[in-house]
Amino acid sequence: MRIETDVQQVAKLAEERAEANWTLRYAYALKGSDLSPEEIDSVVHGHYEDVASQIDCQKCGNCCKTVRIILGKSDISRLANHLKKPVKDFVQEYLAIDEETKEHCFRAMPCPFLRGKSCAVYDLRPAGCRSYPHLHTEGFVFKLYQALSNCSVCPIVFNVMERLRREKWTTTR
């Protein structure tokens, strides 16, 4: 299966296939599957590893343009220290409070550390950035809404979801 990497094409195809992806979630596969969440995680992790090995996310940067990342205290301290700014000044200059979570996020999008398609602080990036697109973590069935939201943003998520839709979800694995 061909891996789609063009972010404009990914967004277009994700929109076209949104209903099929929601069907995957609700009607036919993951939420109603006879497979355990751990077995589903194993399948997702396998697809993620294969797809991610074929896509260099540092050459994309689309998530940095559109995904609002929550920053923890250690993220804030690390970035402020890197910029040689007091935490208070860093927070005032770069951060806002996310209305939904009531936690710190970057004030503006795209991320202020995005340079072209690359992260200027890649080795220091926030934990949420390190974990994105979260397909390698446990509990995929409990994060399907997030994955479906990221499908139009991230070529890795898009391609993994394409593979999952083509899976035959049975208990005979």
Return the pLDDT at 21.
85
CA distances from 133 to 67, 82, 91, 123, 173 (A): 10, 25, 25, 17, 26
Asked if pLDDT for residue 31 goes beyond 80, the answer is: no
pTM: predicted TM-score of the whole model, two decimal places: 0.88
- On whether both 107 and 162 belong to a single domain, the answer is no
Return the pLDDT at 27.
44
Q: Which amino acid is at 5?
A: T
The answer to the question of residue 172 being in a domain is no
How does pLDDT run across 51-87, given as a tens digit for each residue? Answer: 999 999 888 999 999 999 999 999 999 999 999 999 9
Return the pLDDT at 28.
47
Beta bridge partners of residue 95, listed in sequence order: 106
- On whether both 19 and 100 belong to a single domain, the answer is no
Return the pLDDT at 171.
41
- On whether both 45 and 77 belong to a single domain, the answer is no
Return the pLDDT at 162.
93
Asked if pLDDT for residue 101 goes beyond 80, the answer is: yes
Please give the tally of structural domains in the chain.
2
- On whether both 72 and 127 belong to a single domain, the answer is yes
- On whether both 125 and 147 belong to a single domain, the answer is no
The answer to the question of residue 137 being in a domain is yes
Average pLDDT, rounded, for the chain:
90
Asked if pLDDT for residue 112 goes beyond 80, the answer is: yes
Beta bridge partners of residue 96, listed in sequence order: 105
- On whether both 72 and 125 belong to a single domain, the answer is yes
- On whether both 141 and 99 belong to a single domain, the answer is no
Return the pLDDT at 57.
87
d(CA 165, CA 142): 17
Average pLDDT of span 150-162 = 96
- On whether both 119 and 75 belong to a single domain, the answer is yes
d(CA 28, CA 16): 19
Return the pLDDT at 143.
86
Return the pLDDT at 22.
82
At residue 172 the predicted structure's pLDDT band, cuts being 50, 70 and 90, is very low
d(CA 11, CA 148): 12
The answer to the question of residue 171 being in a domain is no
Q: Which amino acid is at 144?
A: L
- Which residue range is the domain that position 79 belongs to? 68-131
- On whether both 17 and 54 belong to a single domain, the answer is yes
Return the pLDDT at 29.
54
